[in-house]
Structure 1
């Protein structure tokens, strides 16, 4: 699993350079940070400087009472996390004929890398609204089926990287193919992705568990996930050893001189690529795509953004389809808990108790319906509504006694899950605060187990409230 910087609740659901005649001379951004960063979002309103006092007033008795300002503009609170800073404007354009365009969003950089944040509140939408336009020239794509078609078509005839791609399994090795294409793009002078790589996390900054050593994976305290990640790591290492042997030519060897480089490229692909149907002329092709800028949106099965291919000018549109209001800086956390108990609670009853609306895949808190528990309901309660085993049979109402027993059984299973961890939430927080030189992969592993504990606690508390309200 890999984490990417959060996009103000902007979540994404699950090639190539123009010809030389259309391409201007590429240039690198002069500075990654502004000396005086521009304000993200709307600028603050500043009060006018006070006028100097008249000479006569100086001789009068001093009055320490501040003057009453009737028309002082209100000060707007900073909507973004304090550790985030706006990205240099040159980040949008790295010297190419058709540039990426953004509408109503901000790119911010912080300790965990870059993220996409809404620059203003987004009210519920009836129609989808575009927030990004990304031209095909900047994307990297490869078809999912043979014959392989790349865009941009940057691999010359006879290059050994094509033989490596050709050896992959069309059904399962999409990520290996795209990683090979990405590594090759980094080796081409003046290629867009060679410049864009400055904005990608390095191996030390990447939070993908694909790069985590075994001792860091053990910090997950999740045996199934640990074994799964070790299996994925071995698959990548075996692929690298098979094709990057000692007898290979230098032009292939320099793409990934060690398996760590290949693991890094694979982690970038797995955490940032999407599947997309692309119409190219009369053909519709299924492709795996790396779309710059859009790759900084979080990937989620409960997304409020989606991709649309505008074939008439070969432009990728990122559309926001918020069915509920998105506030600046908001995130929509989601998590899955595998319950083994056969107990289930009534879905409609649970949702109504916490004013949660929407379909199962698009649940949200309806804040317009105020209740005494408004402060309790947050993204974790919405995640609990998705994670809890539920039942629904048309208009059949819930039986309070049965519902209470089911809720108690689920609570007991949550407590057993909490007891299975070797540390508490407080101990995890102390570990994170005490070790400032902790690796990114160990940090994300500890945060993973800590957030699971927090979600389990929230589920227990939510079921307590549910039992009280379902009975009366």
Structure 2
């Protein structure tokens, strides 16, 4: 997924507890959070046993001599200042016992239009190699392998605890999210565990946008029967799992993890919307694992992402890196590409959609087709069918019109192609008009108009998060249909004779 980069592990020295406020609030999800006047520190003080005395200075010096740290990861010095584009966002680390620490460079965590996000705190010039902006050690993550034998990190489940029997009962092929949700719930119950602290900054059930938490009436607002039915099945799957293991006489140490099915649904929604899959070394094995990575989970999705994740095997560190050749301006949002998929897939797992998703599809039933090469040339769209992009360097229609929705139109519209055979303008216009009429019929099939949906979202009347994202989803489908209609108007005006 990414290019490798050599780094050494941090020396694990005891230190006093950090100040009593967190540097980094939580992630991407569109929940209401007060804008921060300054970044929060990473951690709150908790009572714990005093650390043992530090190792002898000779041993520390000997270990450091064997693996000298890279200069970019050293604290700033007057005679060799830290590169400005890599200035640490927080020189302090969050420590739990002797756990290693998370660090961020040149970024800040702020509230944006889609909730909490990661933003550049200074300009970064494009370089020929990737640039690290975050380092999250394995000790702060919740990790479970995808295949048996189950291996966890950190290994916080004691022998004989009933939560392991629940994890063991899951299907290895399909239930990765159920296993990770169980591990997350258990971590919340472990005293002084990092996730017990980090949970204060996760969205609550009222703030979470996952459709797993949506009542049936909110799912009907989607006006997408297939998606609504799918989410009802997912909800029932989670409830059945909870009833099988929790809705009975069980020990209190297990009951308190998920006293009701709403608690389990919330944990499952957190897992699905914030986890990543990594190929990582677990003991002597290299396995695929599902991981909840704090701080990195605040990176929002973009099809034109400027960051990627890289797992550093040597010292078990997850790096967030700026892609090579990408210039980043101060205030730009740092984003990841979650996956290439239609909006319904994003809604299933993450609880969001986009009106300019370049992978969105519309199913046309008409036999009408337009000439593919002619349509692409009008909007300066190039590349193979699965790699289409807008070449903004060439003059064409106004650049503020061409976006991901036009690229989606190029993929979704029925097209024909026969080498260099030009399109016949009169036939092309007729085909375009037929396709436009089908788009208008699709728009008329909705119970509301674009303007009415926008009024619902802009009104002062409080609506639940799940209803809000359901209205946004159907609005985004309508906006795509309208964009296709407008694109076909421009296409008809620009067909070459």
In 2, the alpha carbon distance for the partners of 1:157 and 1:407 equals 66
Distance of aligned partners of 1:120 and 1:164 in 2 relative to their CA distance in 1, 3 Å threshold: same
Name the SS of the counterpart of 2:228 in structure 1: helix
Name the SS of the counterpart of 1:410 in structure 2: helix
Distance of aligned partners of 1:425 and 1:115 in 2 relative to their CA distance in 1, 3 Å threshold: same
1:224 maps to what in 2? 226
Q: Does 1:117 align with 2:119?
A: yes
Deviations 1:336-376 (A, max 9, x none): 13313355545444333223345555544333334342232
2:455 maps to what in 1? 430
2:378 maps to what in 1? 353
The 5 A counterparts of 1:364-403 are 364-390=389-415, 395-401=419-425, 403=428
Deviations 1:97-146 (A, max 9, x none): 43222334331125854112344566766543333221111111111111
Deviates more, 1:286-295 or 1:358-367: 358-367
1:88 maps to what in 2? 39
In 1, the alpha carbon distance for the partners of 2:104 and 2:175 equals 32
1:295 maps to what in 2? 297
2:212 maps to what in 1? 210
Q: 2:360 aligns with which of 316, 336, 339?
A: 336
Name the SS of the counterpart of 2:41 in structure 1: helix
- Check whether the contact 2:378–2:396 (CA below 8 A) recurs between aligned residues: no
Distance of aligned partners of 1:167 and 1:466 in 2 relative to their CA distance in 1, 3 Å threshold: same
Name the SS of the counterpart of 2:290 in structure 1: strand
In 2, the alpha carbon distance for the partners of 1:123 and 1:30 equals 32
- Check whether the contact 1:141–1:151 (CA below 8 A) recurs between aligned residues: yes
Alpha-carbon deviation of 1:84?
A: 5.1
1:98 maps to what in 2? 100
Gaps of 5+ in 2: 1-8, 26-33, 43-89, 336-353
Q: 2:476 aligns with which of 428, 451, 456?
A: 451
1:73 maps to what in 2? none
Name the SS of the counterpart of 1:317 in structure 2: strand
2:195 maps to what in 1? 193
- Check whether the contact 2:219–2:470 (CA below 8 A) recurs between aligned residues: yes
1:308 maps to what in 2? 310
1:468 maps to what in 2? 493
In 2, the alpha carbon distance for the partners of 1:267 and 1:247 equals 26
Q: 1:413 aligns with which of 429, 434, 438?
A: 438
- Check whether the contact 1:124–1:324 (CA below 8 A) recurs between aligned residues: yes
- Check whether the contact 1:94–1:195 (CA below 8 A) recurs between aligned residues: no
Flag the structure with more relative contact order, 1 or 2, with Cα contacts below 8 A and sequence separation at least 6: 1
How many residues end up aligned between the 2 structures?
A: 405
Alpha-carbon deviation of 1:222?
A: 1.0
Name the SS of the counterpart of 1:220 in structure 2: coil
In 1, the alpha carbon distance for the partners of 2:236 and 2:186 equals 22
In 2, the alpha carbon distance for the partners of 1:388 and 1:159 equals 55
Deviates more, 1:262-271 or 1:88-97: 88-97
In 2, the alpha carbon distance for the partners of 1:147 and 1:266 equals 22
Deviations 1:199-229 (A, max 9, x none): 2111111111110111111111111111111
The 5 A counterparts of 1:31-180 are 85=36, 88-91=39-42, 93-96=93-96, 97-109=99-111, 113-119=115-121, 126-180=128-182
Distance of aligned partners of 1:261 and 1:119 in 2 relative to their CA distance in 1, 3 Å threshold: same
Alpha-carbon deviation of 1:317?
A: 1.6
In 1, the alpha carbon distance for the partners of 2:454 and 2:16 equals 49
Deviations 1:143-176 (A, max 9, x none): 1111111111111100000000000000110000
In 2, the alpha carbon distance for the partners of 1:194 and 1:369 equals 52
- Check whether the contact 2:131–2:323 (CA below 8 A) recurs between aligned residues: yes
TM-score (norm 1): 0.76
In 1, the alpha carbon distance for the partners of 2:270 and 2:142 equals 13
- Check whether the contact 2:39–2:108 (CA below 8 A) recurs between aligned residues: no
In 2, the alpha carbon distance for the partners of 1:297 and 1:172 equals 26
Alpha-carbon deviation of 1:454?
A: 1.2
Alpha-carbon deviation of 1:410?
A: 3.0
Distance of aligned partners of 1:336 and 1:378 in 2 relative to their CA distance in 1, 3 Å threshold: closer
In 2, the alpha carbon distance for the partners of 1:343 and 1:264 equals 46
In 2, the alpha carbon distance for the partners of 1:345 and 1:293 equals 46
In 2, the alpha carbon distance for the partners of 1:33 and 1:271 equals 19
Distance of aligned partners of 1:310 and 1:110 in 2 relative to their CA distance in 1, 3 Å threshold: same
Deviations 1:171-199 (A, max 9, x none): 11000000000111111111111111122
In 1, the alpha carbon distance for the partners of 2:466 and 2:236 equals 17
